[in-house]
Chain A
Amino acid sequence: MDSNLRREIIVDNYQNPTNKKAIDDKDFVTASTISDSCIDNITLFVKFKDNIIKDIYFDGEACAITTSATSIMIKKLIGKTIDEAEELMNNYYNMIDEKEYSEEELGELNAYNEIYKQPNRKKCAIFPFETLKKAIEKYKMNN
């Protein structure tokens, strides 16, 4: 990806993130992650119905990479089944870990395709996905 386009996607999603709002609604499953280095923290509010992700919001304080990745993840995953979401996550993790992956499916998430060059930012790029995994686990346990 062209570096200007990459920057544009990340900065745009950082400065105008999708669905950044705390939700107080029992229909939403909440999951939080606080980073080991005591910096980033985000909470996801996820609404599931019949194994489909109907809606996601998030709240918290985090760096440009974490915040933008959360915003893009939300756009990509609303409307997907849990299986589809897990498949997309696997694909994304493969990209982050420099393994084989399908570029086509990832769309804007391709903006993080060179994050391996900054090893200390890898954790930021997977931060929202690690949090979503917790929310999916919670949903599966109760359904």
Chain B
Amino acid sequence: MNREDFPMLRNDLIYFDNGATTLKPQCVINEITNYYENYSANAHRGDYDISRKVDELYEETRDDVKDFINASRREEIIFTKGTTESMNMIIFGFMKNYLQKDDEVLITKTEHASNVLPWYTLEKEIGIKVKFIPLEDYEVTIDNVKKSINDKTKVISLAWVTNTIGDIRPIKEITKVAHDNNILMVVDGAQSVPHFKTDVLDNDIDFLAFSAHKMLGPTGVGVLYGKKDYLEQMLPLNYGGGMNSFFESDKSLEYKPLPYRLEAGTMNISGILAFRKALSYLKEIGMDKITNYEHELKDYLIKRLREIDNIEVYNENTKSGIVLFNIKNVFSEDTSQYLNHYHVCVRAGNHCAKMVKDELIIKNTCRISLYFYNTKEEIDKFIKIMKGNKDIFKVII
């Protein structure tokens, strides 16, 4: 749907790598230029008209993000560079002070690097213990969460949807179990917020991180959501302009209140304003409509892939728009090169979640990640190309 709004789709291209980044609609692209052409001023400096206008638009974007994920307060929304920066702020700005030696953090082996490496680093720095919730058929079950919890468990940190297997975690139930045991819930929403309705209040999660560029927005913009009480305790990782109220030569100083305290320096203003357009674009289509359409597409893709003898699909039953597959006895990168020849973009490899190989047996796969502008016609073309895979080496060598 809405293909005419995406300039990239005018090219001869089948874009199936939406888990990596999504294409941008014209309104988002235009807003970046609009900022630079018509009100290119810094935010929070409002002594003249265009600067005040930037301030207004910037803060209205914050309100729109708040509404998009149903947060209760605007100061709970912090703009960042992306999910990775948001996760690092949660872990080094808050958890580093909140946790003590021997406290335990639960993650899984299918997390993205940005929900693994900061924790590993904190383990080295302050002696927390990072533990893995065992998976069943690649998925997190409430039973296994309960079994993994002990007196030392202080945090559960999970992707809502994994970028590898595409399984959707029962976050509301997990959060309930976490809170019953005085455990904080951190959620990596990079692969979930773009694809289904997010409600941080209803799910009662404590921290959420996500990226604009995976939901039609520009690169270099992300969001950190945190409950106000926790954000109040978060130490900035960056100090400087925009985050202080005053500082003197006698070293006295005062930082600004939330959210500004956590947004030091000039932010990616054009990106943030363009992100607003992405949010209203998604809202206009309707997140439920997007979710349902993606399910329909995935079911169709799986059904059609079954027509081909030498294709292995690894995650038929997961509920997101992510499909992992290989051509039997062909290395995933060779398959992606073959598809590239026909201008089909898929990702090959282990998708930045390097421990997945412990769970999935097969190390490297091709990944299709769908979005609402993909179509059944594109899937038909893809299937036709895949049916010709016997000639793969004639094409790629």
Contact: A61 with B393, CB < 8 Å?
no
Residues of A within 8 A of B349 (CB): 37-39
Instruction: Please tell me if B337 contacts chain A, counting CB pairs below 8 Å.
Output: yes
B366 to chain A, nearest CB (A): 11
Instruction: Please tell me if B201 contacts chain A, counting CB pairs below 8 Å.
Output: no
The contact of A10 among B337, B348, B354, B393, by CB within 8 Å, is B393
Number of residues on chain A facing chain B (CB within 8 A): 18
Residues of A within 8 A of B337 (CB): 63, 118, 120-121
Q: What would 10 more interface pairs be, CB under 8 Å, given A7-B397, A64-B396?
A: A6-B397, A38-B352, A38-B354, A39-B333, A61-B364, A63-B333, A64-B331, A64-B397, A65-B397, A67-B331
B168 to chain A, nearest CB (A): 24
Please report the C-alpha to C-alpha distance between residue A39 and residue B334 in the assembled complex, in whole angstroms: 11
Contact: B350 with A10, CB < 8 Å?
no
If A61-B331, A61-B364, A63-B333 touch, whether A38 touches B394 (CB-CB below 8 Å) is no
* A7-42 contacts to B (CB < 8 Å): 7, 10-11, 37-40
Contact: B352 with A11, CB < 8 Å?
no
* Chain A 38-72 per-residue mask, 1 if CB under 8 angstroms from chain B, else 0: 11100000000000000000000111110100000
Please report the C-alpha to C-alpha distance between residue A114 and residue B394 in the assembled complex, in whole angstroms: 15
Instruction: Please tell me if B332 contacts chain A, counting CB pairs below 8 Å.
Output: yes
Instruction: Please tell me if B283 contacts chain A, counting CB pairs below 8 Å.
Output: no
The contact of A64 among B350, B351, B354, B393, by CB within 8 Å, is B393
Residues of A within 8 A of B394 (CB): 7
Instruction: Please tell me if B101 contacts chain A, counting CB pairs below 8 Å.
Output: no
Please report the C-alpha to C-alpha distance between residue A73 and residue B348 in the assembled complex, in whole angstroms: 25
Contact: A11 with B397, CB < 8 Å?
yes
* Residue of chain A at shortest CB distance from B335: A63
B79 to chain A, nearest CB (A): 29
Residues of B within 8 A of A118 (CB): 337
